[in-house]
Amino acid sequence: MVSARVIGHADIVRELAALAASEEPPHALLFAGPDGTGRTALAIEYALRLNCERLHPPTTAGASLFAGDSSLLPPPSSREPCGECRPCRLILEGAHPDIITLGPGDTLCRPRDGESHPKHPDSRDIRICQVRGLIDLVARYPFEARHRMIIIDPADRFGREAAHTVLKTLEEPPGHTVFCLVSAAPEALLETIISRCRRIDVRPVPRARIEAGLVERGFGPELAARAAEASRGRPGRAMEFAQHPEMMGDRGRLLERCARVAAGPLRERFTYAADLATRWRNDRHAILAEIDAWEAFWEERLRQGVSGAEDRGRLAGCVEALRAITTVRADLQANVMARPAFELMLLCFPRVTLVPSPEEESAAYA
Ligand SMILES: [Zn+2]
Ligand SMILES: [Zn+2]
């Protein structure tokens, strides 16, 4: 049984199907894995399996007649959500009033009584006022869903006070609400929050599987192959690439530029950071593709280091660089000032030589 909605992750889909069909489905899940691997798609898959009316016929008098027949059906864990009933359609359209995504910004913001409270659409964190709104919401019954779902993305962005308040809600989960925490950096979550959640590790998907998934969705084979290759195991990114091929840019050209900047003098990095910041204002897609190229660049060096004569300093430099990339993506998403964010990222990158040799690497600039 493989979901037509999620690319890859057949084992996770099977697990979610079994959980959703169980007597007491878990009320807090943590989808941990890199951005673009399909974490949110899996949460939506869980929402469908919890709410589809064909899988869970309403228990009215009329439906109980039908129950005689439904006992002949295979158990819900081995059936697919229909995709046609009202809950399925609303969920698939992203329009279900009980499926709510909470992230940094204004969603669910609820000021304290009598407090004047400016809006904060560009906030970096999920704030305590939003958690108040969340608790308020959870106290009420869903509008119409069997199980309301709150997707918290990214879940590692709670402020301290907010995290502790969320924890209380997770400790006494209301029966009608399911929390799906999504995070690329689960180590940044409170241990006590992690321990309340059923953790699902979402790993990169094999390239061939992504390619096949794109072809199944009607993309041409050549485009599917290129998008799958450029996505490096992340079906979500692959879909974006297939829909906007210009995002892939000229990867070879980008990687060459990465190598040049990484080997060049410090001042060149500042010039490059300024250039990124200027272009960021007009063409975010292109810059995100460029950041992807940087990630590919450091991952490749990390792989070379692991398979060859590695030196710890060099590997640490690559890891540091990859971490800086994760940070800059989060910063850009939170609308911080772009130029200092790019500068910081570039300063965290170790300097490399174009003909790599372990001894020739100097420490990070920072
Ligand atoms: Zn359905
Ligand atoms: Zn607020």
Q: Residue 81 is part of a domain; what is its CATH number?
A: 3.40.50.300
Residue 359 above 90 pLDDT?
no
Ligand with minimal distance to 58 CA: 1
Establish if 365 belongs to a structural domain.
no
Domain termination site, one of 184, 201, 218: 201
129 and 27 part of one domain? yes
| Other CB atoms within 10 Å distance of the CB of residue 365 | 12
Distance 290 CA to ligand 2 centre (A): 33
Distance 146 CA to ligand 2 centre (A): 29
185 and 272 part of one domain? no
Report the range out of 7-16, 233-242, 310-319 with the highest average pLDDT. 7-16
Distance 163 CA to ligand 2 centre (A): 15
- Residue whose C-alpha is closest to residue 295's, from 271, 315, 320, 321: 321
What pLDDT sits at residue 355?
A: 56
Residue 15 above 90 pLDDT?
yes
Residue 334 above 80 pLDDT?
no
Ligand with minimal distance to 108 CA: 2
Establish if 274 belongs to a structural domain.
yes
Distance 72 CA to ligand 1 centre (A): 18
Q: What is the pLDDT of residues 222-232, one digit of tens each?
A: 999 999 988 88
**Mean of pLDDT values over 172-196:** 89
Distance 124 CA to ligand 2 centre (A): 12
Lowest mean pLDDT segment, chosen from 12-16, 84-88, 170-174, 323-327: 170-174
Range of the domain at 343: 250-360
Ligand with minimal distance to 81 CA: 1
Distance 176 CA to ligand 2 centre (A): 25
Kindly list the distances between the CA atom of residue 135 and the CA atoms of 147, 148, 162, 224, in Å, as whole numbers in the listed order: 16, 13, 11, 43
Confidence of residue 361 (pLDDT cuts 50, 70, 90): very low
| Other CB atoms within 10 Å distance of the CB of residue 135 | 15
Residues 6+ apart with CB under 8 A from 12: 6, 42, 200, 202
256 and 136 part of one domain? no
CA–CA separation, 47 and 17 (whole Å):
10
Establish if 346 belongs to a structural domain.
yes
Higher confidence at residue 208 or residue 230? 208
Q: Using a CB cutoff of 8 Å and minimum separation of 24, what contacts does 79-86 make?
A: 79/54, 79/55, 80/1, 80/3, 80/4, 81/48, 81/49, 81/52, 81/54, 81/55, 82/52, 82/53, 82/54, 82/55, 83/48, 84/54, 85/52, 85/53, 85/54, 86/53
Confidence of residue 159 (pLDDT cuts 50, 70, 90): confident
Ligand with minimal distance to 118 CA: 2
**Mean of pLDDT values over 262-282:** 93
237 and 279 part of one domain? no
Domain termination site, one of 201, 233, 262: 201
Give the tokens for residue 1. Answer: 């049984």
What pLDDT sits at residue 286?
A: 83
